Amino acid sequence: MAQAKAKLSPKPEVYKNYIAGRWVRPAGGEMMDNLNPADTRELVGRFPASTGEDVDAAVNAAREALPQWKKTPAPRRAEILYRLGQILIERKEQYAVEMTREMGKVLKEARGDVQEAIDMTFYTAGEGRRLHGYTTPSELPDKFAMCVRQPIGVCALVTPWNFPMAIPSWKMMPALVCGNTVVIKPAEDTPLSTLNLVQACIDAGVPAGVVNVVMGTGEAAGAALSSHKNVNLISFTGSTDTGRLVAETAARTGKNCSLEMGGKNVILIMEDADLDLAVEGAVWGAFGTSGQRCTASSRLVVHKRVYKKFVDKLTERTRALRIGNGLDKKVEVGPVINEDAVNKIMGYIEIGRQVDGATLHLGGHRLERGEYKHGWYIEPTIFTDVAPRMRIAQEEIFGPVVSVIPCRDLDDAVQIGNGVQYGLSSAIYTADVNRAFRAMEQMHTGIFYVNSSTIGAEVHLPFGGTKATGNGHREGAMASSLDIFSEWKAVYVDYSGKLQKAQIDTAT
């Protein structure tokens, strides 16, 4: 990542990996600077640039801790999670402020990120007494048949920077309640928030070796963790390109693999929609978290009858957004994560203008003067007169850029909405319940909203998508996440006192 020169404090905070119950320096001694994206003169801290040697130590620690943690009754594991949830409540404001400093999202969104980790922790803890299998009648007399869940083993968790506490909690909590041990590799841009979550685990009483964290780049620490021979499962959230590499590695090494990847999400806005409500949803979906969400509303498909009116309202609302440091309570849009992100997003804005030929209706500039001089800021950007096959309407930009696409009717809108490689989230604004249900049925996405934006998932419903968004798994919702982090064992108890040969003895 390209980095601006930091305004170093005399003694910047230096952090360590957490392995086998101890905070340890990286074996190679290399460190990474974590800069505040709102003001890159501020050094949030220095974090380990771990290598395969550190990963090996963490995986070995998790493997050694596995038998005892697996033997711990699930209700006892859950009690630790309840304590963890309470600790997160007590530290919510502290952790939110630190998240805004390292990630840039506005403080109210950072509070929401921590709150989601709280929700996931308490929700998952309840499953400590509900890790249900089932019994079923045997096809033979004097024989009992049932199935139970059991842990998978050592789980590698590779998490992104945009939700640096919520997404780790989606993976860590169900993994722990199922009896697995974990090694987590946070994104190099936001390691502090994950360390805060791990510190809360320690203080809640999670035993040494059950949770381990190694920080570093994807190329070094992430690749070593994904390919480690003693890792049984890898859960990855990030880009589609990287996710495919993770899947290939998992296939070669026989690991379970759960992927949550990209999105190119759409809001369908019909001619009977409440346009003021739709505009609020579009602005929140497109520019919340500076557009850096896999569920961001990056495409707005608008009925031609209300297209101009909608664009006018959208423009007025977007122009009024306050951009700046997320710690300022008046700010609605913070910076993007780093210089590489700035370059990628600005590159797509040029593609939209010069290659696609769309109309750059609003924004489109990097902000570099005054209060923005030392941060990574991009104006909220609206493209109009966008055709469905344009690159800006097909490819994930992951920034504050939205494409407004006209449509003829609901069928046309659905066809446009489904016409991308991703299938994460979609939404419709309409007053017609029949239309809403038709769209709900026909949109090929894992998440669907009616009269709401494409963002705002809740932990007790499955999160994930279709097509290039993932590999069929879901996070959140116990029926989904427990299936990722546990595996089935079928059990037969024959009390007949003789050998019964199942289908042979029951053959007619």
pLDDT, tens digit (0-9, with 9 covering 90-100), for 75-116 = 999 999 999 999 999 999 999 999 999 999 999 999 999 999
Amino acid at 503: Q
- In-domain check, residue 144: no
Cα distance from N-terminal residue to C-terminal residue, the chain? 69
Verify that 157 and 184 share a domain, yes or no: yes
Contact 461, 479 (CB under 8 A): no
> What CATH number has the domain bearing residue 375?
3.40.309.10
Residue from 375, 377, 379 nearest 36 by CA: 375
Domain that holds residue 169: 22-131+152-261+470-483
Phi and psi angles of residue 184, each rounded to the nearest 5 degrees, phi first: -110, 135
Both tokens of 410, joined, read 């609901």
Q: For 463-503, write each residue's pLDDT tens digit.
A: 999 999 999 999 998 877 889 999 999 999 999 999 999 88
Query: Are residues 203 and 337 part of one domain?
Result: no
Q: What's the residue count for the chain?
A: 508
d(CA 214, CA 186): 8
Q: Is residue 494 part of a domain?
A: no
H-assigned helices in 154-220? 166-177, 191-204
Question: Going by DSSP bridges, is the β-strand pair 381-384/17-19 parallel, antiparallel, or unpaired?
Answer: unpaired
> At 422, which helix (H) or strand (E)?
strand 422-423
Active site residue 458: no
Looking at the domain assignment, is residue 37 inside a domain?
yes
Pair (279, 402) in one structural domain: yes
301 with 426, same domain?
yes
Residues 325 and 284 occupy one common structural domain: yes
Same domain, 243 and 362: no
Whether residues 244 and 271 fall in one domain? no
Residue 111 is given by DSSP the state: H
419 and 350 both lie in a single domain? yes
Q: Are 435 and 428 in contact (CB under 8 A)?
A: yes
**Tokens matching residue 358:** 């769309």
Domain assignment present for residue 356? The answer is yes
Q: Which residues contact 274 (CB under 8 A, 6 or more apart)?
A: 429, 431, 451
Catalytic-residue membership of 257: no
Could you tell me if 176 and 193 lie in one domain?
Answer: yes
Alpha helix segments (H runs only) across 300-432: 307-319, 339-350, 410-418
Q: Does 297 fall in a domain?
A: yes
Half-sphere exposure of 282 (CA within 13 A, CB side): 34
Is residue 490, in this structure, part of any structural domain at all?
no
Q: Are 341 and 410 in a shared domain?
A: yes
Structural domain tally of the chain?
A: 2
pLDDT by residue for the chain (508 residues), tens digit each? 344 444 545 578 999 999 999 999 999 999 999 999 999 999 999 999 999 999 999 999 999 999 999 999 999 999 999 999 999 999 999 999 999 999 999 999 999 999 999 999 999 999 999 999 999 999 999 999 999 999 999 999 999 999 999 999 999 999 999 999 999 999 999 999 999 999 999 999 999 999 999 999 999 999 999 999 999 999 999 999 999 999 999 999 999 999 999 999 999 999 999 999 999 999 999 999 999 999 999 999 999 999 999 999 999 999 999 999 999 999 999 999 999 999 999 999 999 999 999 999 999 999 999 999 999 999 999 999 999 999 999 999 999 999 999 999 999 999 999 999 999 999 999 999 999 999 999 999 999 999 999 999 999 999 999 999 999 999 998 877 889 999 999 999 999 999 999 888 776 6
3-state helix, strand, coil in the chain (%, to 5): 40, 25, 35
Q: Are residues 345 and 206 in the same domain?
A: no
**Residue 223: both structure tokens together:** 């690749």
Q: Is residue 14 part of a domain?
A: no
Q: Which of 294, 332, 396, 475 is catalytic?
A: 294
The pTM assigned to this predicted structure is 0.95
| Cα 386 to chain centroid, rounded | 28
User: Any idea what the CATH number is for the domain that residue 87 is in?
Assistant: 3.40.605.10
Tokens for 434? 């029949």
Tokens standing for residue 213:
């964290």
Q: Is 398 left (phi over 0), alpha (psi -120 to 50) or beta?
A: left
Same domain? 257 vs 281: no
Task: Please check whether residue 56 lies inside any domain of the structure.
Answer: yes
